[in-house]
Structure 1
Amino acid sequence: MNFLPHRPAAPGRPKDPEKRAAILEAAMRLFPERGYDGVSMDVIAQAAGVSKLTVYSHFEDKESLFAAAVTTCCEDLLPHGVFEPVTGQAVREALTTIGRSFTDLIMDERAIKLHQIMVAQAGQKPRLTDIFYAAGPKRTLDEMESFLRQAQATGALEVANPAHAAAHFFCLLKGIRHMSVLVGKSPLPTAAERQEHIAEVVDIFLKAFAPTARSGGAR
């Protein structure tokens, strides 16, 4: 479902990509710091060093800017290319790369704060939470499902339900630590802790979905 209807660009001078990047950078910093309601288009314009008119020339409204900020934050740490198969790459290595990028994303301080904001907004602003889910979690699940379908097609994995398996993989990666960090009970995991946890999750996942007809396919 597309929550942000596309509108054709208005005629005029080409938009400046550097100004758009500055607006997005300001939005990605301010939304986690102040919350959705604590940020206005005026504040973002001032932080980005552009006029309010320039902000609106790139983004229709605050909701579309918020969606773009969430999407950009996700793509910075978990880019599309992570889910693209690499010739000759073992499925274990591919899963480890995805796991590392996903863990870096969910344990990023900006992402933690945005998640906390969405939990606080739940039930109050359903459209906002829909935008957040579509731009972040759903996009990630869809990418992983596509990766697993390709792994199934090549025989690297045996995955009867790629959508369910994608959700299982990310839930395993989150574990209890992510919830503990969200509620302020635990600090962010160290690099060593992340690496150990990712390796354990990949082992569990491969044991569950390793191909039975081919030996060594998931190694």
Structure 2
Amino acid sequence: MAEADVDAAPARPSRRASHDKRGAILAAARQLFPQLGFDKTSMDTIAERAMVSKATVYAHFASKEVLFRTTLEALAHASPNRWDALLEMQAPLEQRLAAVAKALLRISTSGALNDAAYGLVRPPLLPSQMREEMWTLSFERYDSMMRALLAREVERGSLVIDNLPDASVHFFGLMTGLPANAAMRGDGVDADFVQQERYVSGAVALFLRAYRPDVARTVGTTKREVPSGF
């Protein structure tokens, strides 16, 4: 009878592997940091969402800062690399800049968890060192791509730029103005596709107006060839 009871006893569920627990903690962090912000997300809340103990969370991540940094790194590495394709794109300059602008708008308005530039990277009350790390992990590659694109156009003579870092910031500022204003009003950028296209076209035109060579001035300063006999 005892032997039968042993056979009938339900098998105890196997314990989750350590890497499964770590993955559950990271998944919980990816959900909670954007919802609550860095300051209001506690390790207790993350443990509850991940269905592990608080001690397990600390066993994998020594502090909330380490967990946030690890989550950010995972997102940055998972984010697709659009920039090589944009750099190699064969099209007129206006079209290439518009393609970059649209990619920036998608990033600025994205709520997708696979994009490192979503709300997770904009939590309040972060130490300055972590803000610098967030820039390096998430946005530095965008800035580097933009500088490389602009430097190439300067070499081709399509643009006249004395300060590439400033020009890159100018471009980013123009392109992120629309989502910033929409966020302040509580509107969605994607709601009006025509408005977005019009904004991108106007912003690219404004940027080119600032950095394209002044053709009239160039022609005026060119030495005029005088026909012989005069």
Q: Which has the larger radius of gyration?
A: 2
Amino acid aligned to 2:72: A
Judging changes above 3 Å, is the alpha-carbon distance between structure 1 residues 23 and 195 closer, same or farther for their aligned structure 2 residues? Answer: farther
In the TM superposition, residue 52 of structure 1 has moved relative to its aligned partner by 6.6
In the TM superposition, residue 63 of structure 1 has moved relative to its aligned partner by 3.9
Judging changes above 3 Å, is the alpha-carbon distance between structure 1 residues 102 and 23 closer, same or farther for their aligned structure 2 residues? Answer: farther
In the TM superposition, residue 107 of structure 1 has moved relative to its aligned partner by 1.4
- Show structure 1 runs of 5+ residues with no match: 1-15
Structure 1 residue ranges (4+ consecutive) displaced by more than 4 angstroms after TM superposition: 19-27, 39-47
1:102 aligns to what SS in structure 2? Answer: helix
Residue in 2 that maps onto 1:166? 168
1:84 to 84, 87, 102: 87
1:141 to 143, 147, 165: 143
Inter-partner Cα distance in structure 1 for 2:157 and 2:128? 40
Inter-partner Cα distance in structure 1 for 2:140 and 2:49? 26
In the TM superposition, residue 92 of structure 1 has moved relative to its aligned partner by 1.1
Identical counterparts, % of pairs? 19
Q: What are the residue-to-residue correspondences of 1:116-155 with 2, within 5 Å?
A: 116-118=122-124, 121-122=125-126, 125-155=127-157
RMSD: 3.7
Inter-partner Cα distance in structure 1 for 2:51 and 2:92? 48
TM-score by length of 1: 0.65
**Larger relative contact order, structure 1 or 2 (CA cutoff 8 Å, min sep 6):** 1
Inter-partner Cα distance in structure 1 for 2:164 and 2:138? 19
State whether residues 70 and 132 of structure 1, in contact with CA within 8 Å, keep that contact through their aligned partners in structure 2: no
Inter-partner Cα distance in structure 1 for 2:205 and 2:175? 12
In the TM superposition, residue 178 of structure 1 has moved relative to its aligned partner by 3.1
2:91 aligns to what SS in structure 1? Answer: coil
Inter-partner Cα distance in structure 1 for 2:85 and 2:31? 24
Amino acid aligned to 2:187: P
Judging changes above 3 Å, is the alpha-carbon distance between structure 1 residues 165 and 146 closer, same or farther for their aligned structure 2 residues? Answer: same
Judging changes above 3 Å, is the alpha-carbon distance between structure 1 residues 136 and 29 closer, same or farther for their aligned structure 2 residues? Answer: same
Inter-partner Cα distance in structure 2 for 1:46 and 1:157? 55
Amino acid aligned to 1:202: V
Amino acid aligned to 1:98: V
2:34 aligns to what SS in structure 1? Answer: helix
Judging changes above 3 Å, is the alpha-carbon distance between structure 1 residues 62 and 197 closer, same or farther for their aligned structure 2 residues? Answer: same
In the TM superposition, residue 103 of structure 1 has moved relative to its aligned partner by 0.5
Judging changes above 3 Å, is the alpha-carbon distance between structure 1 residues 39 and 199 closer, same or farther for their aligned structure 2 residues? Answer: farther
